[in-house]
Amino acid sequence: MSIHRLAAVAVSIFLLSFQVQAGEDRYYRYKAANGVTVINDVLPAEYAGKGYSIINKDGVLIQEVPRELTKAEIRAKEHQQKIQQQLAKEAQQQQDNDRLLLSTFSSIEDIELTRNRVIGQLNNKIETLVQNRIEEQRLLDKTYQDAANMERSLGKVSDTIQSNIKAHKHKLEELSKLIQVRSDNVKNTENEYQIKIDRYKFLTGWKTEMAEQKKLPSSENSTPN
């Protein structure tokens, strides 16, 4: 028999086997309302959503069909999926942040230098605002003095001086708010960079390395008995 003939016979046997398997009898196994397990070649519509098994004539499981979820279970499942998605998103974000941290800084000292530079710039801005507030307070005090002198000499204060007093007060309030915002920025920056330092230590095993380094002198200096 030629090779082509053998190949044709093999394909025919495979197709015949597939047809027999595809056309094999199937039965449905499910629990009836009274709790009794039923095997039938027809699945009643009222049990379709309650979960069932598809088996062949020998009782071999072909497919397991789970019951339909209740609305509450569907909501709970969707809620759990959202939680898992959020956790996965946060984990990915943390990985991205870690890569950026390690690629931006070469050491803890590098992070500390950057922190000090940023905080120094913020403190310089605060100092400028403080000086501006001192000057604005001086102008307000002078305007108050001008108002007192005018009231003594003329019996009233002009609208211009009153307007200037109001403007100086408003400027002082704005400067005070800006100083508070900059001060909060300093605190937030300190916290942010401390988080970076702690994370960098964790990622690079800094604490473990330091602990090992501390152990080295004692082990080297120890003398055998």
pLDDT score recorded for residue 206? 67
As a three-state string, the secondary structure of 79-100 is: HHHHHHHHHHHHHHHHHHHHHH
pLDDT score recorded for residue 48? 87
**Cβ distance 182 to 125 under 8 Å?**
yes
pLDDT in tens, 114-149: 999 999 999 999 999 999 999 999 999 999 999 999
Helix intervals (H) in the chain:
3-22, 71-104, 108-154, 159-204, 206-221
Residues of the chain with pLDDT under 50: 1-22, 218-225
Cα torsion through 199, 202, 208, 213, rounded to 10: -30
Helices 108-154 and 159-204, packing angle to 10 deg? 170
Q: Per the confidence metrics, is the pTM higher than 0.85?
A: no
pLDDT score recorded for residue 47? 85
pLDDT score recorded for residue 7? 38
**Cβ distance 122 to 185 under 8 Å?**
yes
pLDDT score recorded for residue 24? 64
Measure Cα distances from 156 to 140, 152, 164, 181, 211 in Å.
Answer: 18, 8, 15, 39, 76
Give me the amino acid identity at 222. Answer: S
The dihedrals phi and psi of 26, each to the nearest 5 degrees, come to -125, 145
Domain ranges of the chain: 37-68, 70-104, 107-207
**Fold held by 107-207:** Helix Hairpins (1.10.287)
SS3 62: strand
